[in-house]
Amino acid sequence: MNEREVGTVRTRAGGGPRGAGQAVVRHARPEDMTRIVELIAEHAAYEKASPPAPGLADRLSRLLFGPGQPRLRCLVAALPDGILAGYATCAPELSTWDGTEYLHMDCLYLTETSRGHGLGPLLMAEVAAEARALGLSEIQWQTPAWNENAIRFYDRLGATSKAKRRYTLPVDPATGP
C-alpha cells in the first residue's frame, strides 16, 4: 500500500493514555495483527457480539496485505509507548441509489482507557484521508442504537444518521441460504 504520513496527537503526563508523548495513527503492519485481533475481540465483547472465529488474523492479513490492491484498509492508533490502543477498518463500497462509490467504515474502536484523549477524532480524520486518497467523497458507517457515547461522538463530528436495521443472512456456498 502506498503509505502517506498520518496524524499525531500529543498526550499529557497523567492526562492522556499512557503518559506524555505523541500518539500516532498509521496504517496497520503485518506485525500488528496479533494486537489487532485482540482489539477486535474486545470490540466484539463491548458490542455484546460473538468473539471472532479462529484464524481471523490470517483472513484479515490476506485482505490487508495480500497480493494486488488491498480489499481492506486498517488504521491503528499507537500510543507513545507503541501499544496499539484502537483501530478503524474501511473499504470502498457502492451506493446503487446514488450511483457512486463511498468509503464504508466497518469498525472504529478504542480501548476504554484511550477514549476521550483525542484519538477518536484523529482516527476519523485519517479515515477521511483514506477516502480522499481513493477519490471518494463520503464515508458511511453504522453504530448500535444503544451506543450513546459513539452517537454523541459522531454527532460532534457533524455526521448525520439514517434509521435502518442491519441484517445478515448466512449463505452456504454449496446449497444457498
Q: pLDDT at position 12, please?
A: 37
Cα 68 to Cα 53, 112, 120, 123, 152: the distances in Å are 25, 35, 30, 25, 38
CATH at residue 21? 3.40.630.30
pLDDT tens digit string along 50-92? 999 999 999 999 999 999 889 999 999 999 999 999 999 999 9
Is residue 139 in some structural domain? yes
Per-residue pLDDT at 19 exceeds 70: no
Three cell numbers, residue 44: 466484539
Q: Is residue 128 part of a domain?
A: yes
pLDDT at residue 172 tops 60: yes
Range of the domain at 20: 8-157
Q: Is residue 169 part of a domain?
A: no
In this predicted structure, the answer to whether residue 45 has a pLDDT above a threshold of 70 is: yes
Is pLDDT above 50 for 42?
yes
